[in-house]
Chain A
Amino acid sequence: MTPVLSKIRFRDAQIEMAHGAGGKASRRLVEGLFAPILFEGSQDPLGDAAFVDVDGSSIAITTDSFVVKPITFPGGSIGELAVNGTVNDLAVAGAQATALVVTFVLEAGLPTELLEAEIRAMASAAHRAGVVIAGGDTKVVEHGKGDQIYISSCGVGHRISGITISPKTVRPGDRVILSGPIGDHGITILLARGELDLEADLRSDTRSVLPLVQAMARAAAPGIRWMRDPTRGGVATSLNELVRDCGLGAVICEDKLPIHDAVRGACELLGLDSLHIANEGQFLAVVAQEYAETALDALHRTDGGEEAAIIGEIREQPAGTVLVSTLYGSKRIVDMLVGDPLPRIC
């Protein structure tokens, strides 16, 4: 099994919004420009966190930055996202976060009240996730040169015992597990911007997925092959990255996908594919077939994992491709997100 795409060259003349949207362009930027220069010679697929050796012990490390508009939205805010997002990047790499350091880039003119609310949100998110914020840094940019608050964070952690995550261990017949309903975060943000005359009873799903990952690990650690949090670019992009990294295919059953009606409705209305919509409190796992039911049971018995589901399986063919099978037996390809999801009107 060889990865389907090995060499990507970055040929785009300038950086555009799409390069930050988490889809194809983002991957091309990372694999075609950053990786060849920074990780020259490395054959390892890119994961959500890296393991580095520090004095003989393996430390997991990751970094993430957060730009979101509006900074508060139903179900959360940028501060909470920053903590949970970093904890989750470590969790899906098979690591438990121990400490974070955070950098704030603030726009001059930002009301202190807003900043304080975000610091408090981070403190309580860190408390809930069981992680320490060990330090930070602040920079201020001129008014108009930033968008209220940007947060960048770096997290370190240690390996959750018994799990080793690598797309290379994925085999045909493995099951794909999703931790809960998709699209809540992305659609919540879209509606919170107030540009659409649409309202829905929806909240961002931002949360630490660590308790769910731990529960699954306790029950089925040897069967867990791969995990990822499907943030920007959604479930479709994460699964496409997986199939390209492992050289296999994935088939998803549309009717098994947990999704709230409000998200489905908004997607239908705006011509968006829910599989491309961002999530902030879910993860995907590929689990060996014989462990799949046990892993799913463990999730179901954990708070917040009640809606977890086996949504599909890994197949030898079609390699490098994610297929969705419909209720009535037809199939379609789902590719990575291209650019930002743009609503279709006409």
Chain B
Amino acid sequence: MKYVDEFRDPELIVGASREIRRLADPGRHYRFMEVCGGHTHAIYRFGLKDLLPENVELIHGPGCPVCVLPMGRIDDGLFMAAQPDVIFAAFGDMMRVPGATGSPLEHKARGRDIRIVYSPADALKLARANPDRHVMFFAIGFETTAPSTALTLLRVRAEGIRNFSVFSNHVTIIPAIRAILDSPDMRLDAFIGPGHVSTVIGCRPYEWIARNERKPIVVSGFEPLDILQSIVMILRQMKDGRAEVENQYARVVPWEGNRAALKAIGEVFELRPYFEWRGLGFISQSALRIRDSFAAWDAEKHFLTPGVRVTDPKASQCGEVLKGVLKPADCKLFGNECTPEHPIGALMVSSEGSCAAYFNYEHRKSELVTVSV
């Protein structure tokens, strides 16, 4: 399959794996954070840890939009879903994320009109097809998905559609990386930079990481070869004593980002003074709210949501895992009370969440077996 198989070529992958072993100094331990949940998923799905030397450790970052969403926001969304004539529309990613009174999927089973959509434009189609209902789109995601929400709202305003609103839970990646770097328990050597987010924001916003923090960051694609090559690039920087922003994913990510997408975001959204991240706490200027000029379509203004803060179950250690301080299996609940079927924290829900990825692909891999058929 084109654009996929080239990046899964066994010879090249084995070559990259060898190069990593050659570059990594056996006398030291490396800790690289992959910021993006898509990378976490790919690392487990492709079994990439088997191809890395033991002293190259990958730490899973906060780049999974559903994982960082605090429970209270889910409850707010489900409160909206419970209002008369409301259709709650969200990405499939959201459906199993637990709120205090259950997940959207559980609420759907109890009779709420909860639909899976593939884009905000599909949610808008729902609104057009159901003029006597109100469609609330539960928007999640980093800068990757924010442009499509923004473009949808621009169209909604142009068409004067009234039975549609957006509950914005869009967050921004840079403040999250900053919070991780400010956290005293973190000892990171470098970052594997997010690929999809960077298609929108470009590579410049990461320059402070290289300049001020003196840590290499390589924006990476999602295929096995992409990720391994990014690790090679990081190790080369470290060997040369460099700390730079490099773009491994240049086939998709323009250095300057996507201006049209950024413009749409700027027109519709503004930064919230602060926003709560699950596990990371309140981070200033880390999320997007809908501008007053679009207030008519802002679900937070349309519905009188309780806006209650819901704390995570005491025993769960989502925050530590999210920050990369703990490995998924080190959490007391992992695999016992908390499984993909009965998730307590969102990290166990999304296939991009490090707990689910670890549970699904890794933790029972008790011994390596070689096969020849």
Interface residues of A (CB under 8 A from B): 14-18, 24-25, 175, 195-197, 249, 251, 253, 256, 261, 264-265, 268, 271, 310-313, 315, 317-318, 320-321, 323, 325-335, 338-339, 342-346
Contacts and interface: CB of A to CB of B under 8 A. Distances in A.
A50 to B, nearest CB: 28
Interface stretch (B89-97, B275-283, B300-308, B317-325): B89-97
A136 B19 CA distance: 67
Contacts of A249: 369
Interface in B1-38: 1, 4, 8, 10, 13-14, 17
A246 B93 CA distance: 34
Interface of B: 1, 4, 8, 10, 13-14, 17, 41, 44-51, 65-66, 91-93, 95-96, 105-106, 108-110, 116-119, 122, 140-142, 144-145, 224, 340-341, 350-352, 359-371, 373
A329 B14 contact: yes
Contact of B224 (A14, A16, A175, A328): A328
Contacts of B46: 326, 330, 332
Contacts of B352: 344
A201 B373 CA distance: 31
A98 to B, nearest CB: 36
Nearest to B119: A345
Given A16-B105, A326-B224, A339-B96, 17 more contacts: A16-B106, A195-B122, A265-B1, A312-B373, A313-B371, A318-B366, A320-B364, A325-B371, A328-B13, A329-B50, A330-B47, A339-B341, A343-B92, A343-B118, A344-B91, A344-B352, A346-B140
A344 B351 contact: yes
Contacts of B364: 318, 320-321, 333
B122 A16 contact: no
A234 B232 CA distance: 37
A123 B209 CA distance: 68
Contacts of B360: 333-335
Contacts of B41: 271
B65 A346 contact: yes
Nearest to A23: B341
A126 B106 CA distance: 39
A326 B47 contact: yes
Contacts of B350: 344
A45 B370 CA distance: 29
B8 to A, nearest CB: 7
A233 to B, nearest CB: 13
A343 B41 CA distance: 14
Given A16-B109, A335-B360, A261 B1 contact: yes
Contact of A328 (B14, B65, B91, B365): B14
Main SS at interface, chain B? loop
Contacts of A346: 65-66, 91, 93, 140-142, 144-145
Contacts of A251: 369, 371
A15 B110 CA distance: 9
A253 B372 CA distance: 9
Given A14-B110, A253-B371, A196 B351 contact: no
A39 to B, nearest CB: 24
Contacts of B359: 335
A331 B368 contact: yes
Given A175-B373, A256-B373, A330 B48 contact: yes
A82 B222 CA distance: 40
Given A312-B371, A330-B50, A338-B341, A345 B96 contact: no
10 contacts: A253-B373, A315-B369, A325-B371, A328-B14, A330-B50, A333-B363, A335-B360, A343-B92, A345-B92, A346-B140
B124 to A, nearest CB: 14
A71 B119 CA distance: 25
Contacts of A25: 341
Contacts of A342: 92-93, 95-96, 116
A253 B142 CA distance: 35
Contacts of B10: 327-329
Contacts of B65: 346
Task: Name, among A14, A15, A315, A345, the residue most crowded by chain B CB atoms within 10 Å (CB to CB).
Answer: A345
A332 B362 contact: yes
A17 B359 CA distance: 23
Contacts of B66: 346
Contact of B92 (A18, A325, A344): A344
Nearest to B373: A310
A344 B96 CA distance: 12
* Shortest beta-carbon contacts, A-B, top 10: A330-B47, A342-B92, A346-B141, A330-B50, A328-B13, A345-B91, A328-B10, A332-B361, A16-B109, A327-B10
